[in-house]
Amino acid sequence: MCGIVGMAGNFNKEILESALKSIDHRGKDYSNAFIDEENSLALGHNLLSIFNLIDENNGICDNLEYNKQPIILNNLVLVFNGEIYNFNKLEEYLIENDENYSKSKSDSQILANLISFHYNSNDENLLESVKYVIKELDADYSFAVYDMKHDNLAISRDSIGVKPLFYGMDEEKDLKVFASEKKALWKAGITDENIHDLTPGCILYNWETVDLDDNLINKLISTDFKEMKSSYKEYDDYLKTKDSYEVYKELLIDGLYSAVEKRVDNISNVGLIFSGGVDSTILAVLLKQIAEKRNNEDNSIPLNIKLYSVGVEKSQDIVFSKDMANELDLPIKTIIIDENAVKESIKPVLTAIEDDNLMKLGVGMTIYLAAKAMKEDDVKVALSGQGADELFGGYNRYLKHFEKNSLFDAYFALDEEIYHDIANMHHVNLERDDAVSMANGVELRVPFLDKDIINLALDIPGKYKIRDNDDILRKHILRDVAKSIGVPDHIADRPKKAAQYGSGINKILKKRVLKSFDMGEFIDSLKDK
Binding-site annotation: residue ranges for ATP: 310, 384-385
Provide the pairing of β-strand 269-273 with 304-311.
parallel
Say which residues have a Cβ less than 8 Å from residue 287's Cβ, sequence separation at least 6. Answer: 260, 264, 270, 272, 303, 305, 383
Sign of the Cα torsion 254, 471, 414, 499 reads negative
Beta-sheet strand order (sheet of 175-179): 30-36, 41-47, 2-9, 175-179, 166-170, 195-197
**DSSP summary character for residue 400:** G
| CB-side neighbour CA atoms (13 Å) of 106 | 24
Q: What radius of gyration, in Å, describes the C-alpha atoms of the chain? A: 23
Please give the full DSSP string across 284-317, using - where no structure is assigned. Answer: HHHHHHHHHHHHTSTT----EEEEEEEESTT-HH
Residue 422: C-alpha distances to residues 133, 447, 451, 457 (Å):
23, 14, 12, 11
**DSSP summary character for residue 407:** H
Biggest CA pair distance of the chain:
67
Say which residues have a Cβ less than 8 Å from residue 377's Cβ, sequence separation at least 6. Answer: 269, 271, 306, 333
Annotated binding residues for L-glutamine, written as ranges, equal 107
Active-site residue flag, 202? no
| Distance separating alpha carbons of residues 182 and 135, to the nearest angstrom | 27
Q: Give how far the C-alpha of residue 179 lies from the chain's centroid of Cα atoms, to the nearest Å.
A: 16
The angle formed by the CA atoms of residues 347, 353 and 356, to the nearest 5 degrees, is: 70
| Distance separating alpha carbons of residues 56 and 244, to the nearest angstrom | 49
State which H helix or E strand residue 391 sits in.
helix 388-392
Residue 51: C-alpha distances to residues 102, 301, 472 (Å):
19, 11, 42
271: left (phi over 0), alpha (psi -120 to 50) or beta: beta
Catalytic residue among 1, 2, 43, 444: 2
Whether the link from the prior residue into 70 is cis, omega within 30° of 0, is yes
Nearest to 181 by CA among 71, 69, 28, 24: 24
Q: Provide the annotated active-site residues.
A: 2
